[in-house]
Amino acid sequence: MSGNQECGLANAIEAKLAFSVFSKKNFLPRNEFDALLTENNIKEALDKAAPGGFDQSLVEYITKRARKTFATLVWGDNVQRAVDLEVFGFHDDYLPIDIEGTHLTSLNGLSGNSDAWNWFRSWKQREISRFRHEQWIFLPFIFANDSTMEELHRDYCLPFIKYKRESEEGSFSVLYKATIHHAHQKVSTENLVIAIKELRNKEAGADQSELTALNLARQLQHPHIVPFVGGFRQASTSHLLFQWADGGNLRSYWSDEKNWSRDADLIRWTIEQIEGLIAALEKWHNEPSHITSNGRHGDLKPENILRSLRPDRGIFQIADLGLAKVHSLPTHARNKPSSTPGGTLRYRPPEIDVLRDDQRIFSRSYDMWGMGCIILEWIIWLVYGIDGLRTFYQQAFPDEFDAFWSRTAEGRPTNPVAVYWMKHMQNTCLADGEQCYSIALRDLLLFVENRLLVPDSAEQDTTNTYRLPNGGDAIPKLDITPASDLRLGSKTPKRAKSRDSCKILQEILSAKKDIANYMYNPKVHMNGPNGRGPSTRSGLLTPFPKSSSRQEQKSRDPIRLNHQRQWNGGMANTKNPYAIPGTFNVWITHFDNLFAKNVFGILEDDEIARLAPAHKTSFLSDPQFPDAMLKRYKGMRIASFEEIYEKYSQLEFTHLTDRSLGMAGIESRFATLFGKANLLWRRADLTKVMTKIVYPPDRQVLSWSWMAVTGSICFMDIPSGSVDWTPDLVSPFDDSEDTCGTSGALRGDARQFSTQRDDRLFFDRVTDGLSYGQLLCLVLGTQDVWDGRLMTHYGLLVATAEEGSGVYERVGVATFERDHNWMDREHFQCISIV
């Protein structure tokens, strides 16, 4: 400040200055400015500086149009210059000013040719320089209700009276906690605590992308979305401002034992919060606006769900739309991949791993998988508390890169530990019946299992689909199919959309109020075995020991039986795994994983622990295998056999023709147990084609068998027990000869096949030159779709082995939906597949 201590107004200003810890400079808050720069104070200051040298019109001019300019003169002890303000017409709209070349200019965009600039003509350079420097004290930024990304001069003072870093510096942003002076924002009449997100992504347009998303969120004004305050760009760095959630995030909420209890109020409030969060997503995903866009969050996780305190338990809000994207076109109409800089690995959906970065098109269903993961964690916390949730984390995610889905799973890719916990709860404390701890939580768990943690109908299924164009080769194609099935336990579940999810959660909250103890059953004793999570006494769910090789860690399943690493001696690698062809003392790397995964939900932990050691030696060497396995482990599902085939198909042989030897003698027994599902295999890696193996004439393997080709396989995802298998099919294992004299031929009725939009076709080998007009489909089984109008068909795709011949061979598999009369309408012919 000036040395003029006689100036009462200057002293008053000095007493009311605030300090910006962000800008490292003083500023005069707006409320203090209005209180000090009154007409009387202005007249008094003029009287002291230029007694008798002005009239009342100047006082009125300054009061109405030039208070900031006058305050700068007062602070610089240069009030006498104010006498000519009205004459030259200089006013506050010209502020801030700066020097451009040799001329003064307005940073506010006013013309530099105005006569108002003549006011400075008689000034000394030192006076101008001081005015330019001190004007910023009276120009602190004010965040309006509609503030967006404001471009601020480097000298603008931001009115943050408190400022503290709250996170480590990351790749994309750093988080700060700050307090805005109450006079410089329109959200609250008190000082406003905010979160400042400093963006570190220098990619062109990155901040504008975020800003568009945040403006859409602001328009929604949803109580479960953290309010967006504004943004500014200063010195080439962008900042976004949000209201601060003073209750921490969802992860810290779970960790605080004071928040957990066993009562109906907590369960109801939790489901209300979940419904509110999904309702916010529904608005974000679907609400029309003048932006004509829809969006997705892209990084849902407990850390990005914040709690704002209220008189009761508070409210959870979705935050950090740092990965949020908005699109003006629906997913199926976009041919340019959605760019996503990141997203926490654990909560990413399985479709993230299917395509390369430059091929990915992420829809809003991406968010629904993340919500499914979060809700499952929330349910586990409600049932078992923080100790149970931590145990789940230790079992499901022994490696920092582990996720809620497994790379080794096919069809329903959910992490097997997560599947185990869901089944365990359904069989114990959340079982259907009088001993259910909470019917509402059971309904919520079934919704998560059947409608959220499932492959996405839009991305997951169709990225693995080869759709046939007219007259062209089979090419990978993404199709978007809406999920319209709202019923829990659907035979063909598709990941629910946010709008469908809201309806289901509203039903859970409102439809069962007449059921006693619907939210919470106090008669269920949760301190006993019924209230314990999956046991680790037998070591069933202990994580793998850490490996120094990342590749080795990736190749392993996240769980294991911790009894003996190799039952009766396992194979050490994938080459030459068998000792004597035709026997099964072969075996499979991590076969203990297979056993653990397929008894989940069937056998209790103690029973597994008791049975496994007793039979581990005879399990693979029993001459009655596989019948003995089903007898001894009656709960073992057919997925066990699928995985045996899939594991075996990954083995590498010195001689390709040895591929069929290890399974000799038991394949027919597998087929008996499998049924026709045994034939519905496909190549596991859709980026690679299979090549035909040339066998000796005395040991031919026919095309319907996966042993006829190279490469790993997996089986189509077919709901167990709900498929009607076609009776008019002659098994290749009945030792009869075909009319063409080929033993082992598969015979049945094949129909002409014309592809439709949503058909899922998987070809075994390169299909160049294949005439699609000659493509036939041999239907193996059908299944009613939930609405009763259509049927899902599962079948083999076949074509003539040579042009003009009547000999057919398998070229792939298909699943498709047609009406009930399709098989009756289409012309069929009985063929043999060799």
**What pLDDT, in 10s, does the model give residues 3-32?**
443 468 999 999 999 999 999 999 999 999
Mean pLDDT of the chain, nearest integer: 74
Q: Which residue has the tokens 């962000």?
A: 22
Between 36 and 567, residue with greater pLDDT: 36
Confidence (pLDDT) at 722: 72
How far apart CA 312 and CA 501 sit, in angstroms, is 26
How far apart CA 828 and CA 641 sit, in angstroms, is 32
CA distances for 578 relative to 581, 587, 621, angstroms:
6, 7, 13
Angle among Cα 594, 550, 557 to the nearest 5 degrees reads 10
User: Given pLDDT bands bounded at 50, 70 and 90, which one contains residue 104?
Assistant: very high
Q: What share of the chain is helix, strand, coil (3-state, %, to 5)?
A: 35, 15, 45
Q: Residue 360: which region, alpha, beta or left (left: phi > 0; alpha: psi -120 to 50)? A: beta
Confidence (pLDDT) at 584: 37
| Predicted confidence (pLDDT) at residue 91 exceeds the cutoff of 80 | yes
3-state secondary structure of 783: strand
Please state whether the peptide bond connecting residue 626 to the residue before it is cis, i.e. omega within 30 degrees of 0. yes
| Predicted confidence (pLDDT) at residue 190 exceeds the cutoff of 80 | yes
Confidence (pLDDT) at 332: 37
The kind and range of the H/E element at 781 are strand 776-784
Confidence (pLDDT) at 639: 59
Between 433 and 179, residue with greater pLDDT: 179
Q: Which residue has the tokens 């033993």?
A: 743
Q: Which residue has the tokens 């923080």?
A: 386
Q: Say which range, 127-131, 445-449, 631-635, 683-687, has the weakest mean pLDDT.
A: 631-635
What mean pLDDT do residues 779-789 have? 77
Between 385 and 211, residue with greater pLDDT: 385
User: Given pLDDT bands bounded at 50, 70 and 90, which one contains residue 613?
Assistant: very low
Helix orientation angle between 498-510 and 365-396, rounded to the nearest 10 degrees: 70
472-495 b/e with 16+ CB inside 10 Å = b?
eebeeebbbeebebbebebebbbb
Superfamily of domain 250-526: Transferase(Phosphotransferase) domain 1 (1.10.510.10)
Confidence (pLDDT) at 168: 62
Residue 65's Cβ-side half-sphere holds a number of Cα atoms within 13 Å equal to 13
Q: Quick one: which of 370, 375, 364 has its CA closest to 284?
A: 364
C-beta of residue 7 within 8 angstroms of C-beta of residue 170: no
User: Given pLDDT bands bounded at 50, 70 and 90, which one contains residue 537?
Assistant: very low
Q: Quick one: which of 286, 304, 204 has its CA closest to 248?
A: 304
Between 288 and 832, residue with greater pLDDT: 832
Residue type, 764: D
Q: How many residues does the chain have?
A: 834
DSSP letter, residue 601 = T
Residue type, 747: R
Residue type, 59: V
| Predicted confidence (pLDDT) at residue 251 exceeds the cutoff of 70 | yes
| Predicted confidence (pLDDT) at residue 638 exceeds the cutoff of 90 | no
| Predicted confidence (pLDDT) at residue 482 exceeds the cutoff of 50 | no
What mean pLDDT do residues 215-229 have? 80
What CATH code is assigned to 149-243?
3.30.200.20
| Predicted confidence (pLDDT) at residue 344 exceeds the cutoff of 70 | no
Domain segments of the chain as ranges:
8-138, 149-243, 250-526, 688-834
User: Given pLDDT bands bounded at 50, 70 and 90, which one contains residue 513?
Assistant: low
Helix orientation angle between 67-75 and 8-16, rounded to the nearest 10 degrees: 100
